[in-house]
């Protein structure tokens, strides 16, 4: 419990640092958010009205005062109002969140189903034909950026074969297949190599040679010893993958018009809707901090060496 509290307290300054830097970068960008807001609405207004709107939104205040006001309001559950739609930012964010969570859950599930058995197979068949084929496939998956994979899937599955809709029509199974495949292909390629490395490292250790010398079957060694030891690394990689997906689905959501927080953030960037952008940055920061905390706690729980190291201090 003390370890968890200590790790949590250490991560709090990181959250503040991320929000401060993102707020500073938007402030230094030099873009006139109010002018952009009226331009997006197709309205031309006098400078006096622009200045009055800036004063209303607090954009004429010094930087530190703007940041402190935003931080104070955020602590009280008020993340501001969208410059473009006039909607409450937190309400808009929570409305889009289920779509991103669904896409993330499907992508993580498919990634685990694909990469875990293939990574183990590649390690067991080290330097043989299955391993070489899987490593080549993993190389291709890592080399192709997500947007290129999305274009290929849209061309073949959507346009040529007509099996799936090119543009999402809502949170239904057919609309979710192509975005899920796009995210899972690159993630599976990366994750499979990492699982292979973790399992292969354990297979080359002395205790495996000793177990084989005693006549223990390779199946028992693999599933009862090697996988148990490699699970620390695998769980950590999975946790980081979840954080990466939750924070990095923006481009894929925009390509397939999947109505999640990623698409919301991209639209906000295009329209200089700073309250939405800041909410998205806060979301990503919280996710990564939380995922890192979970990974640390898993290591502490599963690895006795870490517990002994903490207790010995």
Tell me if the pTM is above 0.85. no
What are the pLDDT digits (tens) for 40-62?
666 666 777 777 877 877 777 88
The predicted pLDDT at position 33 comes to 67
The predicted pLDDT at position 311 comes to 46
What number is the average pLDDT over the span 202-224? 83
In terms of pLDDT, which residue wins out, 308 or 171?
Answer: 171
Can you list the positions of beta strands (E) in 41-166? none
The predicted pLDDT at position 112 comes to 86
75: β partners: none
| Banded pLDDT at 304 (limits 50, 70, 90) | low
Q: How many angstroms separate the CA atoms of 35 and 31, rounded?
A: 9
The predicted pLDDT at position 309 comes to 57
What number is the average pLDDT over the span 112-131? 88
Spatial CA neighbour of 37 closest among 263, 275, 260:
275
Residues near 162 by Cβ (< 8 Å), separated by ≥ 6? none
Element of type H or E holding 291 = helix 274-302
- Give me the chain's average pLDDT, please: 81
Percent of the chain with pLDDT over 70: 87
The predicted pLDDT at position 75 comes to 83
The predicted pLDDT at position 243 comes to 66
User: 99-258 falls under which CATH superfamily?
Assistant: MetI-like (1.10.3720.10)
Domain ranges of the chain: 99-258
Asked if pLDDT for residue 117 goes beyond 60, the answer is: yes
Asked if pLDDT for residue 308 goes beyond 60, the answer is: no
In terms of pLDDT, which residue wins out, 67 or 300?
Answer: 67
Residues near 160 by Cβ (< 8 Å), separated by ≥ 6? none
How far are the Cα atoms of 30, 62, 63, 208 from residue 69, in angstroms, in the given order? 20, 11, 10, 59
Asked if pLDDT for residue 118 goes beyond 80, the answer is: yes
What are the pLDDT digits (tens) for 215-260?
888 888 888 888 877 777 777 777 767 766 666 678 888 888 888 8
How far are the Cα atoms of 69, 98, 190 from residue 95, in angstroms, in the given order? 25, 7, 31
Return the SS3 of 112. helix
């Amino acid at each position: 419990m003390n370890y968890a509290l200590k790790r949590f307290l250490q991560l709090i300054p990181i959250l503040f640092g991320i929000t401060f830097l993102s707020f500073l970068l938007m402030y230094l960008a030099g873009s006139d958010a109010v002018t952009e807001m009226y331009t997006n609405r197709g309205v031309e207004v006098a400078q006096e009205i622009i200045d009055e709107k800036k004063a209303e939104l607090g954009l004429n205040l010094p930087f530190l005062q703007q940041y402190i006001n935003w931080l104070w309001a955020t602590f009280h559950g008020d993340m501001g109002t969208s410059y473009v739609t006039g909607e409450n930012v937190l309400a808009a964010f929570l409305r889009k969140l289920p779509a991103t969570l669904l896409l993330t859950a499907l992508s993580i599930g498919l990634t685990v189903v694909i990469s875990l058995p293939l990574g183990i197979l590649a390690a067991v068949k080290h330097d043989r034909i299955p391993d070489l084929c899987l490593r080549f496939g993993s190389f291709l998956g890592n080399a192709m950026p997500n947007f290129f994979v999305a274009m290929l899937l849209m061309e073949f599955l959507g346009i040529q074969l007509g099996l799936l809709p090119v543009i999402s029509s809502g949170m239904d199974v057919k609309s979710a297949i192509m975005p899920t495949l796009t995210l899972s292909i690159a993630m599976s390629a990366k994750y499979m190599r990492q699982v292979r490395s973790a399992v292969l490292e354990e297979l080359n250790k002395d205790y495996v040679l000793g177990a084989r010398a005693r006549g223990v079957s390779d199946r028992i060694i693999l599933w009862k010893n090697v996988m148990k030891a490699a699970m620390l690394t695998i769980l950590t990689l999975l946790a980081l993958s979840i954080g990466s997906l939750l924070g990095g689905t923006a481009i894929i959501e925009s390509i397939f018009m999947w109505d999640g927080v990623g698409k919301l953030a991209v639209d906000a960037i295009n329209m200089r809707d700073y309250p939405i952008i800041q909410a998205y940055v806060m979301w990503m920061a919280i996710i990564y901090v939380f995922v890192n905390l979970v990974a640390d706690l898993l290591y502490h729980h599963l690895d006795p060496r870490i517990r002994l190291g903490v207790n010995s201090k």
